A and B are shown apart, each in its own frame.
Chain A
């Protein structure tokens, strides 16, 4: 217990001290979060009417980001598998970053759900015991369980490892390995369950496809590790923590393969929708070509596809992938491409056209954007704090001092 308190004290000290760039960065994030809090206050006060959503498109930017971030959280931990099971020491360094990313992505996921509901004060209704959780019928109740379980696992494992390293002890394998195994399975399940959330709705043919879950995984395993590569680069630049090129290259291979699979699945979906278009292809038609002159999503989805294809080609060619600069560029455009695809490209067209063919377009309001940006800022804030502590422990800067 004493160790814990000391650990938190030390890490608090660690995260409150740093370079000027670090302080500026944190101050900037805080400012964004404050602005977002004000936007959220307006939303709570007046209701979701201040967002761009309507009965036509009843989920928008919030749920899009939620879906995307579940993927990030899942993918981050998939790096754990090779690190511990294949005893590949290269990966081990990336794992802490990965789990930190998973935790912050999950917190963002939960935040996006909280800001999306109409009665956040009533959220205790889902807690079994005092409320009623519709398990196992509702996929949302599955999602609530898996996301919170995953968050718990991803907080406890790194904490256990860090606390041990902090005390100069070797973390016991038979304690953390089962946790690692579960978290890997769990990572797949959070993403599949989130896909099932949409996939199970017969009312929305655009989502009601067997490929939705697998495609979620493929795109997540492209976007997640791509983000990790970017973060590792930043960390390499700004901290003492050095990750070898070999590790980055290995992660890049994962990104490349996942991006390729994602493209194959995209082609398969496009073929099904457009080779012989049925009534159920109409949402896809709206997404890719627009309907009745309404084309709000068309530029987005084509941007996304072009970015995805360029990134995949870049990652596939060995010479480009192993070039540090090109790799970063590829990762950035892949990340943006998948963010659009999972957000505007997946959630919104599911609602358009509506059940009776009416076309209600969706544009997020400024308040919605403000809240969204501030949740991203919160995620970045949490990640920075976690990563800074983790790195300090791993590099030996932070150690338990017996007094």
Chain B
């Protein structure tokens, strides 16, 4: 990093610091006021009651602090650790099982990209299953980040003629398959439209959601040209034995009802060098993932040597998700 950039970072950190400390004051004031109000109404009777058990008190105190925490984006490292500890111990109190929530940040000199080989995809949907298991998606509504479209040959890429709920032997005669998911745009419209900055693009290019900051207005899903976002219309449910306990704050930790979620390139895996679950699950090698800033990476070889294209390029969203054919 050059000196100039360093200075910029310092400056912005200072301003952030000022803002956050100011925020904290106001927030704690708000917290007190609301606490008073709620206690007055009597909803908080469990947290204030003398009869309730100590650990119950502790848990409700934790939920209380959870409710009034900041946007993850502007939290200090310390605050991030605190909220993760709270989430982990709340989960343990609730289920008796331990989870591990990571807050690993982006690696230096990494910008993730994804390519999809249309010639290779056979429509097996192994990726879809792997994604659901890895990312703790709601089983009741069968939420899925990935859609595999079965398109009849001879119509080009005509998504209107595509079927994404097929159940026939695959690959079906005279059909080809193309997968879509969040494309992690460089100019993500979903990030611009979010009124609370609950979704943003990380330095390594992954577009993430702070599930606890999202208010559930669904403006982002209206603004996404790629159907990349999923909303928890009801209370999401994952059977306890199927919960992936290896989690990331911005990734596959358990969600609640009324919030938006999406593909994060399996942030809990990719930031530790692993491939997203869909890439590893694909039996045909149609899915490729890697660092765009490494000129020697496979993904760069593909971009430079194959005839790649992206979907709806005219919209100016600059997806980091390319397609190619053999």
Q: Which residues of chain A have a CB within 8 Å of any CB of chain B? A: 46-49, 51, 53-55, 58-59, 113, 116-126, 129-134, 137-141, 144, 197, 200-204, 282, 350-351, 353-358
Contact = CB atoms under 8 A, between A and B. Distances in A.
A380 B215 CA distance: 28
B226 A131 contact: no
B222 A356 contact: no
B217 A116 contact: yes
A356 B232 contact: no
Interface in B170-191: 180, 189
B234 A49 contact: yes
Contact of A356 (B162, B193, B316): B162
Given A46-B234, A49-B234, A203 B222 contact: yes
Given A46-B235, A119-B216, A123-B215, A140 B193 contact: yes
A201 B233 contact: no
A356 B215 contact: no
Interface of B: 22-23, 26-27, 30, 67, 71, 73-74, 141, 147, 149, 158-162, 164, 180, 189, 192-198, 213-219, 221-227, 229-235, 257-260, 315-317
B231 A118 contact: yes
B215 A357 contact: no
Nearest to B212: A122
Contacts of B229: 55
A139 to B, nearest CB: 7
B71 to A, nearest CB: 5
Contact of A59 (B147, B161, B218, B225): B218
A118 B219 CA distance: 12
Contacts of A197: 219
Contact of A125 (B26, B71, B159): B71
A125 B213 CA distance: 7
B207 to A, nearest CB: 15
B157 to A, nearest CB: 10
23 contacts: A47-B257, A53-B233, A54-B233, A55-B231, A116-B218, A117-B215, A117-B258, A118-B260, A125-B71, A125-B198, A125-B213, A125-B215, A126-B215, A129-B22, A134-B195, A138-B195, A138-B219, A140-B195, A144-B195, A202-B189, A203-B225, A356-B147, A356-B159
A204 B222 contact: yes
Given A202-B316, A203-B226, A282-B160, 13 more contacts: A58-B222, A116-B217, A118-B231, A118-B258, A120-B215, A122-B216, A130-B23, A130-B26, A134-B194, A140-B194, A351-B222, A356-B162, A356-B227
A48 B215 CA distance: 13
